[in-house]
Structure 1
């Protein structure tokens, strides 16, 4: 099968837009150039309509809720949501029921992925059995069964000794430890950032040290064991500085930041409502600025959504009762483009890199670039037309404070291995 994407543009590392066509054959990128004169030689052709052609976006942090919580999201709806956002590879967290802590459970999820997903899904395995015990999983068996990496996302690993042993096991197998950093002894039932806004709303706060203290512990353990240690959803200025210093000392640490932590701060919380409740919480403006600076100076390596769907009933209540989490797959690129590229704070090439090639490099994936011979995982975005984010998502869930925002950069088409999996015109 020979496919042509014509009349598009790519952005170079120098932030130059270049008009191109993309030749796809047998699921791979065969050529990048001008192929309109031989268009009749292709089996199918798609018009990019002067849109931006990028590598398919890569999200190393999503929650698809299946098995166990299908009323929030499924592998099918989550993958379609990702495709609509321009993501072609996503990495799904293991806080499921049952937790995929054995080869049999992990293989069952991959069977469901094979039949139901329209994008590439890589499944994480947990660090400990059932996510909340002190007993490590069998790392080698889970690696052999397809585990992408190991994480207890949703909860921090509370015991330093357990994390140390996990890092030793992972390092031995050349696997990554991916950490949700949260010292539960410092939570004190907090539901939002501990600051002036929590005082105004009369809600219990979450200290910055709840996150940063575990990162400080873990980078020293990573130095001791030599493991690749990746920090999820960094949110505080202290966390950024700890990671910056760890990198200076040659420790193998990488980290991600979420669009909502870059765009919003506690100042944007207008009321006590579940759509503003996420973990980690929206922090102070100085934390928000530290995250932006950290991206620009290379301390923060990539952008991930932490797509965390919940039902309307769960989120439409006070933060005291609502679960943590915000959806993000369908809105991430357009929010980043609108808030940072359109305003001149980031370049277009930077956000494309942080959302595609950078996460691929971190974990050694074969996608994330538009190189000849690479998988034809491709997204096309309309950078010119303004539209409003509505709750008409492909995700089962709508829990985001960004509904009603006017943005640019909607996804026009998404291709996975050369097969079209999203087309706005056909939606």
Structure 2
């Protein structure tokens, strides 16, 4: 049994004692010398709903040298995440079409593989996960995916305004109400939806009720932001206009169709202005940014090289400041990591040839807290809304309401105790404990992810998730026995 005394509830400020009586032994991940039982002083800690990341790449199937479902899930748990949304750019792509899966126990395609991953590998992953389906077959941008090929992987709750035990789509395919890892979105992430199939994709989204997650960036060449740095390094740049063009195109499509669109990893002031205007019209639009667009600009490519190469590229410092401002004024709904692991060899091939992307799950909270909370831009409560509450909503879930748990399981009128063995529906209780005074240095060699591609190695941060709880059971701990008395 783990007891954390005097911990602060994230949104009410109330000080409580948290009792975590159970360990999920099949999921449990703990770092060396960490404790999973005993009594801990939690006076520097916050209790919050588990983080949710609507934008991760776990590379499984197809690129297991970069990441696997296991290592990606472990990285998520270590970062305080209890749920992630997996992007469909796997090999083969998650488009619902049958493909060669090397006779993997009767699995016919990548969606079936991910849906049945834990059974196929006899593991229990330390994070909940939902799935995105490709917007185009093979993510090739030529032929739209069709709900008849993937609707069986949806659950009825994923459909806007629908309920019951099953749902019949317009294409005549029945969705199950009990899919463990359901489809939650349509996305060709890594590429914007092409003009030629945009109308068909929006129609499929309208038919299924799934939101479109749009990679709002399209360019055929270039590797970093167009500007002083690209000229100094004598490499082809990418204009900020490439992001704005996709955002404006899709906003108009939303006006015409009413389909929900979520813009991924937005990075430019002009795009935020367009999204801000669209929101003022009450269009069904949300957007995210990533920690690296809050913390870095294109000038940092001079220091970090390919570790600072991503798509969209790091933009100007003015764009970085506009990103922070968009968090403050509410234009940005959430923060997603765009966790994108690559091998060390790939990232050593130079700016022109190195793949885009960095890892983010294990240091996202610390980076965001440094850039947003410690800078005075927002408070801890708003950061948790960005990293937990809003992403869960996008994925069709509700973040764990701690105040409600306390009101239904209180054992003491003055100093309340949240005993997770006493709560109603413990299977739905997902929490993270954050030590806001934990000072640490990012060391990617100690990450649980296979990836080491981060520009944040060596950064000194304050604030770190120390406990992750799924289904009212402990699945991750980095608590030290020196934090309290056993």
Same fold (TM over 0.5): yes
Please point out which of 184, 207, 213 is paired with 1:172. 207
Give the match for residue 146 of structure 2.
138
Contact 1:273–1:316 (8 Å) recurs in 2: no
Give the match for residue 17 of structure 1.
13
How many residue pairs get aligned? The number is 404
Residues 142-172 of structure 1 show CA distances to partners (whole Å, capped at 9, x for unaligned) of 233131211000111122x411221122122
Looking at CA atoms only, which structure, 1 or 2, has the larger radius of gyration? 2
Shift of 1:272: 6.9
Change (3 A) 1:23 1:131: same
Shift of 1:4: 5.6
Give the match for residue 93 of structure 1.
87
Q: Distance in 1 between matches of 2:257 and 2:274?
A: 18
Please point out which of 166, 172, 187 is paired with 1:151. 187
Q: Distance in 2 between matches of 1:119 and 1:109?
A: 14
Q: Matched residue of 1:199: which SS?
A: helix
Shift of 1:228: 0.6
Contact 1:164–1:225 (8 Å) recurs in 2: no
Shift of 1:418: 1.7
Shift of 1:249: 1.6
Q: Matched residue of 1:387: which SS?
A: strand
Q: Distance in 2 between matches of 1:238 and 1:127?
A: 26
Q: Distance in 2 between matches of 1:99 and 1:48?
A: 47
Q: Distance in 2 between matches of 1:113 and 1:279?
A: 31
Moved more, 335-344 or 236-245: 335-344
1:382 aligns with 2:435: yes
Shift of 1:46: 6.0
Pairing 1:10-409 to 2, within 5 Å after superposition: 10-12=9-11, 17-22=13-18, 47=40, 49-50=42-43, 51-102=45-96, 104-105=108-109, 106-113=111-118, 115-145=123-153, 146-159=182-195, 161-184=196-219, 187=220, 189-271=221-303, 273-367=305-399, 369-370=401-402, 371-372=404-405, 375-391=428-444, 392-409=446-463
Give the match for residue 36 of structure 1.
none
Contact 1:24–1:376 (8 Å) recurs in 2: no
Contact 2:389–2:398 (8 Å) recurs in 1: no
Change (3 A) 1:49 1:210: same
Q: Distance in 1 between matches of 2:15 and 2:469?
A: 19
Q: Matched residue of 1:415: which SS?
A: strand
Residues 208-231 of structure 1 show CA distances to partners (whole Å, capped at 9, x for unaligned) of 111110110011111111111011
Change (3 A) 1:143 1:389: same
Change (3 A) 1:80 1:48: farther
- Note the residue ranges of structure 2 that are not aligned, 5 or more in a row: 24-36, 98-107, 154-181, 406-423, 482-486
